[in-house]
Structure 1
């Protein structure tokens, strides 16, 4: 464990560079296999998907998911299968994602309007904050039916963003009892107050969810077709069925998945995309010309009908997923039976960590892997939807992220608007090579210093 100082994905990357793409670590009493090649990832996620599609149980994940009642962290079994089916059919189907399109378009429109005001004064804006505000606004409307632009919203946007950050830190917090079961682990956690921090975040999140649910339970509460309304309808419908009973804890656990993953990962992806574009003026110029030429001049608004018209933007997003996956590790898996990966025997109850950050930078798979070159995908069939194991921002197999269509739509629409309506400059005489690339985080990895850019109104 003394090897694991600093960011985990970089520590594991350094170890796998030395010891190979299938690496066994013993973290306390827990055997952890680190996978760092696309071939080994395919063996785990495709060949042996069913044998290793459960989840390890950690203190932080258990607390924030109401005892593993969500979709992301629930162990494999009949409960998870039912919840996954509910998510795919009811919550995140393509039809459902498209029904929320007007929300994404309105919220992106608000961002363009605010940036236009900053452009008048040529003042720099914190794009990191802008993107988190955008994704928080979209998710709060889609999932909770709560609009920040309505007066009387009971929690301000700043606090929502802080809560998301605190929650992801709590989810990724290392607790000694996760790796050293028994009294010793619990004592060390008590000494360092690890559980206290997790419990504090949980209490605030729980109160937030409860307030939203109480609003929806009022006679006029379910006027919007948001995810809370859908879940309450499902609870009413299936509440008395012995085979699949749902209650408020199930609903809150699903909200945790949508709220945390939905806000954080899309914002992080847009931050890294704009960071790379401003560091690579050639790519920025090419992207803007492609968008503006295709869509024409003097457009007042861009809609999701426009997203499939500009191929080069899609290449930029793929390259961002490759170099800067929001989650450098797929959510860890737990083996349920004995499997063999590249000749190595892996017993049941082994935790598997797949380092997609390392796979995306594998020099045997990618030419100039450290360089941001969207054109590498121009004549390539490689995509991020779980069928190509060298690019896995959403995972693959049974435990793949069910909300991928929602996340991708937000990222594409947000970036297309910012690149169409504005040119972008660096503040205070900075040059593109001066942009800091230091990372921060634990589960999700974001740019450590906020991305400050100056919007210049183009149209």
Structure 2
């Protein structure tokens, strides 16, 4: 018996469980330190990798800001491709445009799948949404519906009035006084983007009143959990930790309460019989009723798609606006140049409409530069290799997780001159765009699993930013200068400013 072989003081000591753990771990530690080499006819070259610890691998090196930590590791171990180990799961990190092109274009089909994470399965209706559904016929048809019925250019244009009305409401509220006003722009952007998405998807806003306030809290919790970490995904025998620390309970609560809210919204639409202008919920219910697809679209599929609308179309859009205004206030030269462009073309018009947007070349450059430096999701949803494959001379085994570091790629000195500088002029005579064809700039990803909502998001970003700089002059509060703004990032799936953006707006007289 083990107890009979141990001194009494060890049995009574709090160190005894640790000693037991150490003894049982010795075989694994020995295997890790002295791996058995197998003879193969062809030696397989793996991507370079930093040293790792037993059991946890490189998890301890990710830190609070994984996009920054992974770039630092890549600079030392593999600037194009680097292998790390997340517990028992191998992962390849992509940190250059050349490697991103290989993964998301040359071998896009091989990397079209998503790794399965327990939080995603629970929150996203057993993976029935577009963002994390397994690659296959269900996903293809669902994405086609999503694109055609909500995110096609025609549909985006049909929601033009919604964007213009919500932007005008925000501007009217803020310009009610002719004196300077201190604003929390982070809060205003979150409210506006949520209202636009609600009207496009639900046909009305859900922000005020008890029900609306609860929905806003649930969305914040939902996005926070999606950006969280479940140790059981990478070290399965430690899955119990999520029970002890309360994460499982929190995931279950948010999933249940969001489901109740969305179920109520769907039920309202069913009972109304599609009266008035058809919104996205009406469209999905009609498709479900027609039953002309080769896949099954049930009520959970509709609710999962609605969560995609809010996860991908509100928080990320608000984040881009937040960082764009931050950079403009830090760089007065750029702010003035943008205001001169917009005010010069507007010729005294009180409001900028979407008819004007194509004329604003510098505005588009400002937004591209913002997306380069501040992709709202710096590490887009990971991919997974569906088979063994060789990329850039390195062997990547099936089931390997693939992490694209869009943040690192946007700051790669091999692609960008003075990459840390906010300099929109770099895009004025450049054909590089963010739509997934130019791998130096992939804030929305690329290939089959690229974000389908680019047009929807950018239409909102352009109309809001254009009106803000047209109608107001902006200063940092408390007499501070732009360079004094705190640039610390938040943590999570979407990278906001850690500190809300406060700004003093002075309405500009329209002549």
TM bin (shorter chain): over 0.9
Separation of aligned partners in 1, 2:116 and 2:318: 27
Separation of aligned partners in 1, 2:239 and 2:264: 32
Deviation at 1:360, TM superposition (A): 0.4
Answering whether residue 182 of structure 2 is matched by residue 127 of structure 1, we say no
Separation of aligned partners in 2, 1:217 and 1:49: 39
Which residue in 2 is equivalent to 1:269?
Answer: 320
Structure 1 residue aligned with 2:100, among 12, 30, 41?
Answer: 41
Which residue in 1 is equivalent to 2:340?
Answer: 289
Separation of aligned partners in 2, 1:164 and 1:412: 24
Query: What do you get for the CA RMSD once the two structures are aligned?
Result: 1.5
Q: Which stretch has the larger CA shift, 215-224 or 362-371?
A: 215-224
Separation of aligned partners in 2, 1:284 and 1:267: 19
Separation of aligned partners in 1, 2:215 and 2:426: 37
Which residue in 2 is equivalent to 1:231?
Answer: 284
Whether the 8 Å contact between 2:437 and 2:446 is mirrored in structure 1 is yes
Whether the 8 Å contact between 2:82 and 2:94 is mirrored in structure 1 is yes
Structure 1 residue aligned with 2:228, among 151, 164, 173?
Answer: 173
Q: Tell me, what secondary structure is at the counterpart of 1:304?
A: coil
Separation of aligned partners in 2, 1:294 and 1:443: 38
Whether the 8 Å contact between 1:215 and 1:221 is mirrored in structure 2 is no
Which residue in 2 is equivalent to 1:77?
Answer: 136
Whether the 8 Å contact between 1:169 and 1:441 is mirrored in structure 2 is no
Structure 1 residue aligned with 2:424, among 363, 370, 374?
Answer: 374
Separation of aligned partners in 1, 2:275 and 2:307: 20
Structure 1 residue aligned with 2:462, among 384, 409, 412?
Answer: 412
Separation of aligned partners in 2, 1:393 and 1:319: 11
Separation of aligned partners in 2, 1:162 and 1:437: 25
Structure 2 residue aligned with 1:194, among 247, 265, 279?
Answer: 247
Separation of aligned partners in 2, 1:432 and 1:162: 31
Q: Per-residue displacement from partner, 1:290-312 (whole Å, max 9, x unpaired)?
A: 00001111x12221111101100
Which residue in 2 is equivalent to 1:59?
Answer: 118
Q: Tell me, what secondary structure is at the counterpart of 2:90?
A: strand
Separation of aligned partners in 2, 1:219 and 1:42: 47
Q: Tell me, what secondary structure is at the counterpart of 1:199?
A: helix
Deviation at 1:121, TM superposition (A): 4.3
Answering whether residue 234 of structure 2 is matched by residue 163 of structure 1, we say no
Structure 2 residue aligned with 1:3, among 61, 67, 71?
Answer: 61
Q: Across the two proteins, how many residue pairs are aligned to each other? A: 450
Which residue in 2 is equivalent to 1:31?
Answer: 90
Alignment of 1:290-329 (within 5 A): 290-297=341-348, 299-329=349-379
Which residue in 2 is equivalent to 1:436?
Answer: 486
Deviation at 1:47, TM superposition (A): 0.4
Answering whether residue 100 of structure 2 is matched by residue 50 of structure 1, we say no
Separation of aligned partners in 2, 1:340 and 1:293: 53
Deviation at 1:219, TM superposition (A): 3.3
Q: Per-residue displacement from partner, 1:231-284 (whole Å, max 9, x unpaired)?
A: 011111117x6x312110000010110012111110000000000000000000
Deviation at 1:229, TM superposition (A): 0.7
Structure 2: runs of 5 or more not aligned: 1-58
Separation of aligned partners in 1, 2:180 and 2:351: 22
Which residue in 1 is equivalent to 2:202?
Answer: 144
Deviation at 1:49, TM superposition (A): 0.1
Q: Tell me, what secondary structure is at the counterpart of 1:16?
A: helix
Which residue in 2 is equivalent to 1:422?
Answer: 472
Structure 1: runs of 5 or more not aligned: none
Which residue in 1 is equivalent to 2:48?
Answer: none
Q: Which stretch has the larger CA shift, 185-194 or 19-28?
A: 185-194
Which residue in 1 is equivalent to 2:296?
Answer: 245
Separation of aligned partners in 2, 1:219 and 1:213: 10
Separation of aligned partners in 1, 2:352 and 2:458: 16
Separation of aligned partners in 2, 1:4 and 1:399: 24
- Higher-Rg structure is 2
Which residue in 1 is equivalent to 2:156?
Answer: 97
Of structures 1 and 2, the one with the larger relative CO (CA 8 A, separation 6+) is 1
Separation of aligned partners in 2, 1:304 and 1:384: 20
Q: Tell me, what secondary structure is at the counterpart of 2:93?
A: strand
The TM-score normalised by the length of structure 1 is: 0.95
| Displaced runs of 4 or more, over 6 A | none
Q: Tell me, what secondary structure is at the counterpart of 1:32?
A: strand
Separation of aligned partners in 2, 1:250 and 1:215: 17
Deviation at 1:136, TM superposition (A): 0.3
Which residue in 1 is equivalent to 2:387?
Answer: 337
Whether the 8 Å contact between 1:322 and 1:391 is mirrored in structure 2 is yes
Residues 9/22 of structure 1: CA separation in 2 closer, same or farther (3 Å cut): same
Q: Tell me, what secondary structure is at the counterpart of 2:465?
A: helix
Separation of aligned partners in 2, 1:322 and 1:363: 12
Deviation at 1:166, TM superposition (A): 1.4
Deviation at 1:154, TM superposition (A): 6.0
Deviation at 1:450, TM superposition (A): 0.4
Deviation at 1:177, TM superposition (A): 1.4
Deviation at 1:159, TM superposition (A): 4.0
Separation of aligned partners in 1, 2:303 and 2:214: 19
The TM-score normalised by the length of structure 2 is: 0.86
Separation of aligned partners in 2, 1:258 and 1:175: 24
Deviation at 1:430, TM superposition (A): 1.1
Deviation at 1:364, TM superposition (A): 1.3
